[in-house]
Structure formats: structure tokens, C-alpha cells
A and B are shown apart, each in its own frame.
Chain A
């Protein structure tokens, strides 16, 4: 008897091993083949040519440093100093930071690391640490320049334009202007913009002013910072959280009664259940992106549109999950409540809700947390909240320090929501 069964068992075991071996080699091989296909389909090889490494360098340097422009207009001969070359960062005419000595239409600029520049009579003369001299003058027909022998990678010269990369600074001369950049570490005007009288004060001076009763003025200047717009940014963050809050909890409120109607043990009518389930599937299947577009046509751009898009999409998911949770409830508690003569509403309230509440709440909290992230993305599409700020800053392609600031804030916001919801969930599970 065993002799007969034995080869059969052996054969079975061998077949099983062969199958397992096929899977454990076949699956990685398939994945590899797919990735090779992706490599071709996404044109990864061509990426090297399309990639703009200079853009990467701009992002890397601009996100943690800033530059101050000293610009001489060739036509008028006037010299202007502006942080990042922006109107909002411009020094008042005739004023300049300490490293620029203005004298009418001439200026002496300390470029740091032993490099000095002199702008005078419509020309610039830069002295390098080893005593070499760069001279350039914008002319109507082009740029006239005399250069010492420099590393060719640091110079970009045509008839119309001269760019010299200095140590921590840059010189650009075109037919119409001379422009000097000097780079500084940090985020410029982060605390106070130039129009605030607290700009440029040292920490000690600020502390002194704060003690002297100027704290409200300082807070106001910080809050209304024209460049960084801290007040608006905080509002935008709040808006994003609000979108997630209203969308998630609104969805939970709408789908709870519907879930009762689509749970087998509460709604005997097959047609109602089937219909509602298909509605949930449809709402979930039509992606948040499509809902966002449809809603934006009706409600216009703004945070409410985003909140409603989250609300509709999540109603589908909640409806499905809640009805599953309701189907898993224990009947005995309902029977017990019924035996005391309770009516239907009381039976649900005291027999069912306490059973499902911890499950539902923890799901809702999980969605709330992940929706803060979705609200950022949806905000970028509908134009609300921090998502809007982020896309605007990226689209201007020069405010990378602000992009970095927003990214840091978004990450902090999502992580804060994450730990808050985790904390509440733990409390609920322990308490329930």
C-alpha cells in the first residue's frame, strides 16, 4: 500500500517544487524583462541629453543661498542694488548694503574672498586675489572686454555678452547693462523684508527691541513679510488641512447612513443593496482627478472645490468599508438591546454603533491623514491651499528658496497630521 502511494507522493512533491522553482525564477525574470521594456519605452537613454544639469545646479544652489544684484544701466549710468534683482528686494536709491560703496554713478563692490570690483564711467574693473584684472565695457555695438587667462569653464564670451563666474559671485555684461551677483548663504529677508525697519538688525539688537516693547511690531512685520508672505502661507497650510478635514469627515457623515442601507444584515432589500454598492463602486472608480475637473467647472477654482472632490471620492471608499464593517458586527448585542424593547434607532445607536465606532474612526483618521497629502495635490489643480503656492513658486522657476520652504512646511504638516492621527487612534483603541 505504501509502495503504491509513495511514488505518487514523490511525484506530487516534485511537481510542487518545479512549480515553486518556476515562480521564484520566473517572476524576477518577468519583472526584469518588463523593466527593460520600460527602459526603452520611457527613453531613459535619451534622458541624458534632455536633462538640464544647469537647472539642477540652479535648484541646488538657489534653495539654500541667495544673490544680491548690483546693476548698472548702460544708458542712464544709474546703479541699483536689489536682492534677487526683484522690485520687492530693491534697496532705496542711494542706499546699499555694507559691501557696496555707492558714490553717485560709481560704486566700489567687495565681492568677498579677495575679489573687488569698481564700476566707474560706464565700465567695470574687477581685481582678482592674485592681482589679475578683468575689464569690461558695454558698447552700443557689443561688449568690449580684456580678460586675464582664466579657466575657460568660468568664462562665456560672445560679441554681445560676457559672463564670468567668480568665486561666490558672477559678472554679466551685455550691451545694455553691467550686472554683478554676489551669493550669500541662507534665505534672504526670511524674517523681515527690506521695508521693515528691523531688517539687518543683529540678534542682540532684535532682542533688545523685543524687550523694549516692540514685539508686536516685529510680529506684524514678520507676518506681513512682503517677500515670504508668512501670513498667507500659514493661511494656505490651514486651508489645505481644512480641505482634508471637511472632505474626509463630510464623506464619513454621508456614507454612514448609506452604509447601513447597503449592509446585508440591516437592509434585506436586495435591489437597494446592489444599487448602492454599484454607486459606491462608480464613485470610487471615477477618480479624484475627474471629480476635481467636473466640480471645478461648476464651483470655480478654490479650496471648496477641492474639499468637495475629496468628499465625493472618499464617500465611495467609506461606503464600501463601512458596510463591510457593519456586516461583521455581532448580532447578539442588537438582540440584547431589542429584548429591552428598544426601537430601531435605539438598537442601532446602542447595539451597533459602539461595536463599529473604533474601526470606523480609525479608518476615518487614516484617510484624514492621507488626504492632507492629497489636498496638496488637488490644491495644485484647483488653485487652493499650499499646493497653489508651491506650483506658482515652481512655475516662476527662480524662487527655489521659497519652493524649499514650502516643501519643508508641507512635510512638517503631513508628519504632524500623521503623528496626531496615530496618537488619537492609539487612544481610541486603548479607550475602546
Chain B
């Protein structure tokens, strides 16, 4: 009899608990929906064109672009050749900045990982430095550097490399935290310096993970380098902006650039995911 009442009490408690949880989720959902509606309302009110008007015009540009590219399809191969050098520049910016960013990221990561750091007291300093590097959008550094260094690939490369150093540094340090410290101890017992300990004790363990993160970053950096080109840092983004400002009649060029950019991004994504799979399989 006592068991039964106890059971009832538990049941009542449980139902009350679920009801309260449902109420909370329902409230949260309502707040969320209201926030989305309010956000959309504000965004639309501050936009030049309204949403519904824009929606009806949305297909106009792609259709115009495709039909114009179709009419002048014979010119497309020529355009591909014309824009190939700037595409190469965009890819080069991404690759060089990934290399420099990854090198700096490795240093920052090792210097800010507990157990590995050269100066353990400086760990918070290097961590904050990485936070700041990650927080600064590339465009900020790129625009300032363009003012100093003039247009061209170098400002974009430096800007993306700095951001990459911060982003990769954080991921690298998460990997390095899980590295086995025994090789490091062994190396230090035979008198190896810090650099030797890292080079022979830590890097061989973490290299596959580091490489796979760096490749993922390369994918992201190609997109970033195209965008920076659009705001004036050279490469295919710059050509795209010019093609867009010429407008109707020159859309075949824009179409060619769109296709090149799309193809590059898809190819790099595929290649990198292929090699990343290989790396993670080789590891196990």
C-alpha cells in the first residue's frame, strides 16, 4: 500500500517535471520565433529593397547571366584563359597564407599548450594573442595594408595568414594537448633542447591532424581570398568586380569567372576531403 502511494507520488512528480520542461521549451521556442521575426523585420526595414519585391526579381540576374553566357558560349574558353592568371593568384594567396599561417599557428599552439610550452607563464599571453588574431576579420587588415603597401596579393596574403595563425593555433593546441608526453620526457632526459623536443617528440605525433586541419583551412582561405579580391586585393575577385560593374553586355565574363571559381572550390574541396580521409585512415 505504501509502495503504491510512493509510486503515485513519483509519477505525479515526473509528470509535473515533464510539464514544466515542456513549458520551458515551448516558451523558449516562442521567444526564438519572435526573435527571428523581429530580426527579419529590422533587417528588411534597413535594406534598400524589400523581400517580396526582391524575390520576384531574384531569377532575373541568373537568367540574364546564363542566357548571355549561352549566346556567347564560344567566347567562354577564351575568357577562361584570360582569367586563369588571376585565378592562379587567388589560389596562390590562399596557399601561401595557409603555409605561413600554419607555421605561425604551430608555434603559437606549442607555446600555449600546457605541458609543452617553452615559457609556461606566458601561456595566457599567447592564448589572448590567438584570440585577437582570430577575432580580427581579414578584411580589416587587408584594407589597412592596401593603404600602406598598395593593392596586390601581398596585403591579402598577410591578412589571411594572420587570421589563419589564430584559427589554426587554437585547433592545433587542442590536438597538442592530447599528445603523449613520454617522447618529450625521453628527449629531455638525453639533453634535447625545447625545439628538439618539439621537433622529434611532439610533431611526429600530431602531424597528420595538423595537416588535415591545414587542408581544411586552405578550403576556407580560397573563399576568403576571392572575397578580399572583391574589395580590392587582386586575384579573381577583383576581375569579378570589374566584370560586374561593366554590367549588361559583359556578363559572359562574369559567368566565366563564376564557373572558374565554382570549379576551383569544388575541386579543392574534393581533393582536400580525399586526402583528409587518407590521413585519418593512415592514423588508425
Which residues of A come within 8 Å of B, CB atoms?
A: 31, 34-35, 38, 41-44, 47, 50-53, 55-56, 59, 239, 242-243, 245-246, 249-250, 253, 281, 284-290, 293-295, 297-305, 307, 373-374, 376-377, 380-381, 384, 387, 390-391, 394, 397, 403, 407, 410-411, 414-415, 418
Contact = CB atoms under 8 A, between A and B. Distances in A.
A246 B41 CA distance: 11
Nearest to B224: A377
Interface string B134-150: 11111110011001111
Interface in B217-238: 223, 226-227, 230-231, 237
Nearest to B58: A298
A41 B92 contact: yes
Interface residues of B, number: 59
Given A285-B265, A414-B136, 6 more contacts: A41-B89, A42-B92, A239-B43, A284-B269, A299-B48, A374-B137
5 contacts: A47-B149, A245-B35, A289-B230, A307-B39, A381-B227
B48 A302 contact: yes
B147 A59 contact: yes
Given A298-B61, A299-B47, A303-B43, A285 B154 contact: no
Most chain-A CB neighbours within 10 Å: which of B51, B95, B135? Answer: B135
B135 A52 contact: no
Residue among A299, A300, A305, A414 having the largest count of chain B Cβ atoms under 10 Å: A299
Contact of A387 (B61, B96, B139, B152): B139
A38 B96 contact: yes
B258 interface: yes
B266 interface: yes
Nearest to A249: B36
B46 interface: yes
Nearest to B147: A55
Contact of A415 (B43, B89, B135): B135
A411 B47 contact: no
B42 interface: yes
Contacts of A287: 223, 226-227, 261-262, 265
B7 interface: no
Task: Report, nearest first, the 8 A-B pairs whose CB atoms are least far apart.
Answer: A302-B47, A300-B48, A300-B49, A299-B54, A304-B47, A414-B135, A297-B61, A304-B43
B284 to A, nearest CB: 17
Given A55-B147, A239-B46, A304 B51 contact: yes
Contacts of A377: 137-139, 227
A52 B226 CA distance: 25
Nearest to A56: B148
B135 A411 contact: yes
A407 B136 contact: yes
Contacts of A305: 47, 54
A246 B227 contact: no
Contacts of B269: 284-285
B170 to A, nearest CB: 10
Contacts of A299: 47-51, 54, 58
A394 B47 contact: no
Given A303-B46, A376-B137, A407-B136, A290 B258 contact: yes
A51 B265 CA distance: 32
A246 B46 contact: no
A415 B127 CA distance: 13
Nearest to A288: B223
Given A290-B261, A302-B46, A394 B36 contact: no
Contacts of B227: 287-289, 377, 381
Contacts of A41: 89, 92, 153
B49 A50 contact: no
Contacts of B230: 289, 381
Interface in B232-249: 237, 240, 244
B48 A301 contact: yes
B21 to A, nearest CB: 12
B150 A298 contact: no
Contacts of A374: 137
A31 B211 CA distance: 13
A411 B40 contact: no
A370 to B, nearest CB: 9
B143 A390 contact: yes
B2 interface: no
A44 B154 contact: yes
A59 B46 contact: no
Contacts of B154: 42, 44, 47
Contact of B36 (A246, A298, A407): A246
Nearest to A305: B47
B144 A298 contact: no
A244 to B, nearest CB: 10
Contacts of B58: 294-295, 298-299
A394 B223 contact: no
Contact of B39 (A53, A59, A245, A373): A245
Nearest to B229: A289
A301 to B, nearest CB: 5
B148 A294 contact: no
Contacts of B189: none
A352 B230 CA distance: 43
A410 B43 contact: no
B147 A394 contact: yes
Contact of B60 (A288, A297, A390, A391): A297
A249 B56 CA distance: 24
Contacts of A302: 43, 46-49
